[in-house]
Structure 1
Amino acid sequence: MAPRIVDNHTTDSYRVNVIGTDSPVLAVLCGDKHPPDMHSIEQAAEVRYTGADGLAGALAGADALFVYDFLSTAVPGAWHAADRLRWLHIASAGVDPVLFPGLVDSDVVLTNSRGVFDDSIAEYVLGVILTFAKGIARSLDLQRENRWLHRESERIQGKRAIVVGTGPIGRSIARLLRAAGLRVSGAGRRAREDDPDFGTVHASGTLAGHLPEFDYVVAVAPLTEQTKGMFDAAAFAAMKPSARFVNVGRGELVVTGDLVTALRDGQLAGAALDVFETEPLPTDSPLWTMSEVLVSPHMSGDFVGWRNTLVEVFADNFQRWREGQPLRNVVDKSLGYVPSAP
């Protein structure tokens, strides 16, 4: 039967009731932006859409939680109400907003949306590298001033890049940069040679010793206790002054004050930043006005139609979950990400 929407008379939640006694209860944390294309799921479950304030009420008696608002930090505070939860899916590749001790220590299965943003983020990284090399930002500034100022640009052919983070997004970045003519290496948990995408992969613990070799340093590592703050004053000091730093991973990978100092002191030639320790980036941050710094508002992966694709990934796993099949993108909660093959 068709579902019926029942208004709970709150400003932050409503539920879709499905006729049938065997229907699972699904809580969806979505805030004001409800996920699109949920009709098939609403036909098969009691769906409770909620904002942060109503999450605890929506979790009571829920079998599964879809964290569509992947930037929300509301789940830990409402976790006490999760009395029947078996599965949590987050609409992002990063899982740090929901990777708190209560979830880690529970039997709740955690899945993510790995694979949705890989190619889009790779295109962003290539785009900012070309922007730096070809002086595109400077050209736009001069155009606004009606100034004709001839300049020479750099080649990217043969330049060296290291991608810190060897998961699917890192691999997509490596493949695209390699196709564009850059010489690419990786940094990950385990050192190895002859990787199909990176060639040489350095162990993250030895990264500082290799940073002086690279023209572009691309951060895409997941946020864990081991990676938090890994790009600090020592890391920036190890890079050559002509290097550019790109962060499309997590803002907390970087000690922002150390990055600002390194840029001001000429230890780096530039930075392209899509993620920040504090989001939105405060209006008084010096990063906004520093030359050779490109700021984007956490959008490197957000292509036209990405919200629909996120729901498609969840819907596929929801069907698998209903049928007792293995779920895709199961996160190892002790690691903080979906393990990849060596």
Structure 2
Amino acid sequence: MAPVARRATVRYTEAAGLADALRGADALFVYDFLTRAIPAAWPAADRLRWLHMGSTGVDPAMFPELRASEVVVTNTRGVFDTAIAEYVLGQILGFAKDLAGSLRLQQRHEWHHRESERIAGASVLIVGTGPIGRSVARLLRAAGMTVRAVGRRARTSDPDFGAVGADLYAELPAADYVVAVAPLTAQTRKMFDARAFAAMKPHARFINVGRGELVVTDDLIAALTTGSISGAALDVVNPEPLPAEHPLWDLPNVRITPHNSGDFIGWRTAVVTAFTENFDNWIAGRPLNNVVDKELGYVPG
């Protein structure tokens, strides 16, 4: 933050002190992008003009008062794309090659030969057509997988997704893997419910790297326990963090990681750099990078 501190008064605060820090502030950099402190502190934002989220998702900032304000919201789009795509490929390979099963056999000192699945030729449905979804699509295509997507509008001949559909339920039955990477909005909240899981193949695997609130958790548990779907890899869950007694932990066909799919070594520096580059634009009066459409809840394009 040194480049910013040379040209502005910088206040550092945790959630409890946010209201005091906001008074008189022109810009707010939300480094803790999962914080829920912004709405409560909002009345103190008496001269705020710009809010930058240190993440791709901006749902913690999309409350009515901010949406209605003149405050410009930007995000850190682009920093996490490749790392999340690699995570998705890793989880797909983990399922196909049953790496967890191999580890269990190793821990029991058992030599048990068995066959594994190929991912080349398998079909993937990516739900969410932003930059992260595109990065996932490019990597999975390079691995020989067949990719389609679901977005707000249907189209053909997309350079990354091929075909994009607008009807989730029409697209789900053809997929061997379903990857959720959509932003959390009023339209996407709870989109993966009992009906969605029932539309999937029994051998399909579900991978969520978007937001836990995209999923009705009880419906996912039911689908996994009844065999409606074969497995799930969850980097995000609802609730989060997942309580120690939650039933998801003990399901044998579930892989859980603590919301770190994009957290490559050096990501913190990359997040701060993205903010300081946008700060340069702001000070110079140039257009800001990654301006969020506050009605949509994400950066359009």
Q: Which TM class, normalised by the smaller chain length?
A: over 0.9
1:231 partner SS: coil
Selected match of 1:90 from 34, 37, 53? 53
The question of 1:207 aligning with 2:172 is answered no
How many percent of aligned residue pairs carry the same amino acid?
65
CA separation in 1, counterparts of 2:151 and 2:79? 21
1:252 aligned partner, one-letter code = E
The question of 1:290 aligning with 2:248 is answered no
Selected match of 1:127 from 90, 104, 113? 90
The question of 1:301 aligning with 2:259 is answered no
The runs of 5 or more residues in structure 2 that have no matched partner are: none
- Choose 1 or 2 for highest CA Rg: 1
Deviations 1:49-106 (A, max 9, x none): 0011111110000000000011110010000000000000010000001110111000
Selected match of 2:158 from 191, 195, 198? 195
1:58 match: 21
CA separation in 2, counterparts of 1:56 and 1:210? 45
The question of 1:270 aligning with 2:220 is answered no
The question of 1:254 aligning with 2:215 is answered yes
CA separation in 2, counterparts of 1:291 and 1:268? 13
Shift in Å at residue 223 of structure 1? 0.4
Shift in Å at residue 209 of structure 1? 1.8
2:152 aligned partner, one-letter code = R
2:200 match: 239
CA separation in 2, counterparts of 1:145 and 1:289? 19
Higher strand content, 1 or 2: 1
2:4 aligned partner, one-letter code = I
1:39 match: 2
2:225 aligned partner, one-letter code = R
Shift in Å at residue 149 of structure 1? 1.2
1:137 partner SS: helix
1:115-154 alignment, distance < 5 Å: 115-154=78-117
Higher helix content, 1 or 2: 2
- Bigger Cα displacement from structure 2, 119-128 vs 208-217: 208-217
2:75 aligned partner, one-letter code = N
- TM-score w.r.t. the length of structure 1 is 0.87
2:289 match: 328
1:99 match: 62
Shift in Å at residue 277 of structure 1? 1.3
Cα RMSD of the aligned pairs, angstroms, is: 0.5
1:92 partner SS: coil
1:69 match: 32
Shift in Å at residue 210 of structure 1? 1.9
- TM-score w.r.t. the length of structure 2 is 0.99
CA separation in 2, counterparts of 1:314 and 1:55? 19
Conserved in 1, the CA contact under 8 Å of 2:281 and 2:288? yes
Structure 1 stretches of 4+ moved >3 Å: none
Shift in Å at residue 120 of structure 1? 0.3
CA separation in 1, counterparts of 2:215 and 2:67? 25
Paired residues, number:
301
1:15 match: none
The question of 1:230 aligning with 2:185 is answered no
